[in-house]
Structure 1
Amino acid sequence: MTDFCNRRMEELPLSGPDRSWARRALDLLQGDGRRSADTHLVKPAFKGLKGISIYLKDESTHPTGSLKHRLARSLFLYGICNGRIGPGTTLVEASSGSTAVSEAYFAHLLDLPFIAVMPRSTSCQKIEAIERFGGRCHFVDHAGEVYAVAQEIAAQTGGHYLDQFTNAERATDWRGNNNIAQSIFDQMQCEPQAVPAWIVMSAGTGGTSATIGRYIKYRGFETQLCVVDVEGSAFYDAWASGDMQATAPGSLIEGIGRPRVEPSFIPGVIDHMIRVPNTASIAAAHVLSDLLFRRVGGSTGTNFFGTLLVAAQMIKENKTGALVTIICDSGDRYSGSYYNPDWLQEKKLDIAPWRQKIETFLERGDGLFDHRCMTESR
């Protein structure tokens, strides 16, 4: 028996797979993380909001121009450390644009092929950015088709489906490691109201809201999390009813809202949800763009409008405090849509009434709270 074991041990190779590529890849990703470790926390002044401070976490300053830069780096780290990404692996993603732009950047950094599966309606600026980083785009007619097509392409190429909608909440270290929640609270430390009363965040994958909500509970903060959803999205209905099988037609606001409830959407970490009309989202993006002297995207408009509704309710209840929300990406990616009068007319979106309400509220602190979304609860 001893001779047999010795012979078997001699025949058994004890060296594992070569980890040198993974080490080099991780070094490159960590280097990017150090270069873009933090983003600015912007504090505009709003005359009508006495006792309420609004802060905007500007994620548009990442190298790929959006909040999704953090997610993409986490998904790459997750895939490499799980042994699913290696030399030459074809990477595939289902995306409405910004995540794919960031993933194309990281694929280029690691010299890996990348294919993005996206609706044909995705903005041409995002498509051009993906192709500029060497990625390829595969188009589908309906947003609900992206999942199966991405899985099919990954199987055909022997590649890896990054699957942001499933892996967003698990690829990010929600306890810290400079995630967006830790960054917000660290930057707020020296502000007059160091612990925000609310953080307001829209849902795309649900991963960012899951990270923020978990971090708040983990650190024991009194901060509440409000998630804003958009027309045509399933998230609000799922949260309000508890039906995680809820479906919807799909969102007009790129990057947020989904036709189904994604696995990364975690209702249990959310304190409140608001559904925001498309016209209000786009009007708020226009107003904020004027105030910041640069364009912001539609999802940022959703965030900003939701934040103003929270502020309006606080004013109604004679409360004060700090509110934090996110600038998700630049509005330059949407010059052909949200900032194009012809596109707005084609979609029958009249943003003027909402724009007037928002500007009046920011000037006087009243006139906005006239619908019941902040009083709705489960």
Structure 2
Amino acid sequence: MSWSTRALDALAAGPPTRLIDFPVRAPGVRLLLKDESGQPTGSLRHRHARALFRQAVLDGLVTEGTTVVEATGGNAAVAQAWFARRLGLPYIVVMPGRRDQARARAVEALGGECRFVTPPLAIYDAARSIEGHFLDQFGRAAPHDLADELFAQVRPDWVVTGAGTGATSATLGAVARGFGCRVAVADPDDSAYFPGWTLDVPDYATGMPSRIEGIGRPRVEPGFRPDLVDLVVPVPDAASVAAARHLREVTGLPVGGSSGTALWAALELVERMRARGESGTVVSLVGDAAERHLATYHDDAWAAGKGLDVAGRLTELRQRV
């Protein structure tokens, strides 16, 4: 059996992640959470990484012994390091900023190497300068299997996700239309997706980094397909954090801000359906859940340091749900 055949076998999809019923006060409306924190590396980025590696192997860009390189941070780096180890490949990730042992630890525990670069936007050129295959998750936002799995489990009226590379909303949108389902993208402060979609400017850029890890971009990325998105919902960062805390209160999952962003937007859709007397099902993605989020999104001192009025948004949220 060739290395590529063995690699593709190792990159096969795992069991489906679960759906969680989330309580809402809207007769006839059901809100479900698709819990991607159940992936082996604990986040939706696990699917992204598998798709990127699979496509690279199929295209012959990654072969036995190839050094795999990426420019990213957080969950994407962890997921890619996990697959690189599974395939027996060297993995190097270029992260923005000064060396942060907390960010590096999870990747290095999986055998990966972390290099830190300033200024943050220099990570892409730094990654391209390293000999090996640059995965380029933003330039090659490979479609993954989330949509097929989800629609085999349930037939929702709406699916809500955040946008980082844009691959998830594009993948969902391509399949959703065949089931009469619509796709909403939840977008945090300073991200380019909401204004770019609203103004129909495909290369819109804010130049501002998102404070919500994993979603939001200073520019509209090539993987984002506005034609496959039915609605983009802007979500203030304080609302994202409040919703992340509420999600933890209900489910016990210590989720990150991206899951809170999606939940807030999903609750807005539920509220609109209730006001119109509609019934149906909304699915919101839980992109990650990890104990490290307890020191940030779930910590009052952290939120205060960011100038976020989380208490006010929590009060608003509890009145709505």
Which residue of 2 is the match for residue 215 of structure 1?
Answer: 175
Residues 98, 126 of structure 1: 8 Å contact kept = no
Quick one: percent identity of the two aligned structures? Answer: 40
Which residue of 2 is the match for residue 203 of structure 1?
Answer: 163
SS at match of 2:140: helix
1:22 aligns with 2:16: no
1:181 aligns with 2:114: no
Residues 99, 116 of structure 2: 8 Å contact kept = no
1:68 to 36, 41, 45: 45
* Residues 21, 287 of structure 1: alpha-carbon distance in 2 compared, 3 angstrom cutoff: same
Aligned-residue RMSD, C-alpha:
1.7
CA–CA separation in structure 1 for the residues paired with 2:199 and 2:258: 24
Letter in 2 for 1:275: P
Which residue of 2 is the match for residue 353 of structure 1?
Answer: 312
1:237 aligns with 2:202: no
Which residue of 1 is the match for residue 59 of structure 2?
Answer: 82
2:283 to 318, 321, 324: 324
Q: What is the TM-score when the length of structure 2 is the normalising length?
A: 0.95
* Residues 255, 143 of structure 1: alpha-carbon distance in 2 compared, 3 angstrom cutoff: farther
- Map Cα deviations across residues 231-288 of structure 1 (whole Å, 9 max, x no partner): 1111111111121221120100000011111110110001111111000000000011
Which residue of 2 is the match for residue 162 of structure 1?
Answer: 135
CA–CA separation in structure 2 for the residues paired with 1:306 and 1:75: 28
Residues 101, 126 of structure 1: 8 Å contact kept = no
Offset of residue 126 of structure 1? 4.4
Residues 157, 280 of structure 2: 8 Å contact kept = yes
CA–CA separation in structure 2 for the residues paired with 1:59 and 1:127: 22
CA–CA separation in structure 2 for the residues paired with 1:331 and 1:277: 22
2:17 to 36, 39, 51: 39
* Residues 267, 339 of structure 1: alpha-carbon distance in 2 compared, 3 angstrom cutoff: same
Letter in 1 for 2:212: I
Q: What is the TM-score when the length of structure 1 is the normalising length?
A: 0.81
SS at match of 1:314: helix
Aligned residues: 320
Residues 114, 136 of structure 1: 8 Å contact kept = yes
Which has the higher mean CA deviation after the structures are superposed, 301-310 or 333-342?
333-342
Letter in 2 for 1:277: P
SS at match of 1:73: helix
SS at match of 1:165: coil
Extract unaligned runs of 5+ from structure 2.
none
1:101 aligns with 2:78: yes
1:281 aligns with 2:259: no
Letter in 2 for 1:341: D
- Map Cα deviations across residues 59-103 of structure 1 (whole Å, 9 max, x no partner): 001110101111111111111111111122111112231111100
Choose 1 or 2 for highest CA Rg.
1
1:58 aligns with 2:24: no
Which residue of 2 is the match for residue 308 of structure 1?
Answer: 267
Letter in 1 for 2:122: E
SS at match of 1:236: helix
SS at match of 2:156: coil
